[in-house]
Structure formats: structure tokens, C-alpha cells
Copies of this chain bind each other. A is one copy, B any other.
Amino acid sequence: MHLYDNLESGNCYKVRLLLSHLGIPFTKEDVSVVGDRDAQRGEAFFARNPIGKIPTLVLDDGTALVESTAILYYLAEGTPYLPAEKRARARVLQWMSFEQNNHEPNIATARHELVLEAEKPSAEQVDRWQSAGHRALRVMERHLTENDFFAAGRYTIADIALFAYTHVAPEGGFELQGYPRIGTWLDRVREQPGHIGLRD
């Protein structure tokens, strides 16, 4: 397998983290995530990958799979990181979809534009991310008050998906001191066998 990757991207990190847990060997190459990404990646990249995003995982038969949720689900099927029972799998997908719809577009985008991009966002934009991002963190904190993990009572790809940008949320201006359950859960994720860091 070959991964189009970037060490600052939490979405790419999710894939590397699961591959590490699973002990699956892979090659990787770095793709820029700053500036006009579509123009930099060029037509050859889009020809293989119409969505044009990373991570892109190229399977051994040449299939190029995009979107972290789809890649994680594909890799985790039949492993302890995705339960086999249908309702438990639905719950995993629920939290992964929440991450991509409510968490990442605010918390990851704020971090991306504040830290990595040359042109800085307006105060109005930062306020919008703050409001929606803290709503997502409150949802997580509420769930973790009664649960150790996000789905199926154990560590799954739902935790991997939510860990990636939560643990670097302070880089985007989201302080986590007000979320003690999230803090405990972050440590619980770090203790999983095969855990690696964002830039490992």
C-alpha cells in the first residue's frame, strides 16, 4: 500500500495510526497542504483521485481510496478496531461522521488556517469556528461522562478519528482545560498498543 500523506494533517495521521496498530507495512510520500492545493496537485493527481484530497491510500491492486472515514473503515473491517455487530458498526460510523461534519470543519480548519496558511482568517471567521468547535467538544465531553470510548465500549476507529484533531485542538485556539473527560480519554487513546504520535 502507498499513502499520499502529510505530517501536519490529522486526517492522514488517522490512517498512519491505524496502520501502526494493525502492523501493516506501507510506503508514503508527502503532499503539500498549504496554498492552492488543487493547482499544486495537478491533473495527474486528480485523474487517479477525483476528490483530490489527502490522505489517499493506493491499494495493492491500484485502487486509490480517498476520505479518512472510508479508508479507516476499509482497513478496520475484520479487525478489533471495528466491531462486527451491525448496530455497533453504525455507532462507530455515527461518531466518525460527526467528526467529519461538526468537528473537523471547525477545529481542524481553524488550526490549519491559523498555524499553516500565510493569509490569516478574519476575527468573524475565528468566532464562527470557536462557537461550532466548542459545541463539538461539549458533545464529546457529555458522551465521555458515561463512556470510556466512543462506540462499542472499546477503542475503535471512532476514537482514532476523533483523537486526530482533538489532541491538537489547542493549536487551533481551542483550550481543553474545561473538558476533563476529554483529557482522560486522550490519555486512554495514547495508552493503546501500537500508538504513534502525529509526526512520528
Interface residues, chain A, with chain B CB atoms under 8 Å away: 38, 46, 50-53, 59, 63, 65-71, 73-74, 77, 86-87, 89-91, 93-94, 97-98, 100-102, 104-105, 122, 124-125, 128, 135, 139, 142-143
Contact = CB atoms under 8 A, between A and B. Distances in A.
Given A50-B143, A124-B125, A125-B125, A90 B70 contact: yes
Given A125-B125, A125-B128, A69 B97 contact: yes
Number of copies of this chain that the complex holds = 2
6 contacts: A65-B94, A70-B94, A70-B97, A73-B90, A74-B93, A125-B125
Contact of A139 (B50, B73, B90, B94): B50
A91 B49 CA distance: 11
Contacts of A122: 124
Nearest to A128: B125
Nearest to A69: B97
A104 B101 CA distance: 8
Contacts of A70: 90-91, 93-94, 97
Contacts of A91: 65, 70
Given A67-B93, A105-B105, A125-B128, 11 more contacts: A51-B94, A51-B139, A65-B90, A68-B97, A70-B93, A71-B90, A74-B89, A74-B90, A101-B104, A122-B124, A124-B125
Given A67-B93, A124-B124, A74 B86 contact: yes
Given A125-B125, A139-B51, A139-B52, A66 B94 contact: yes
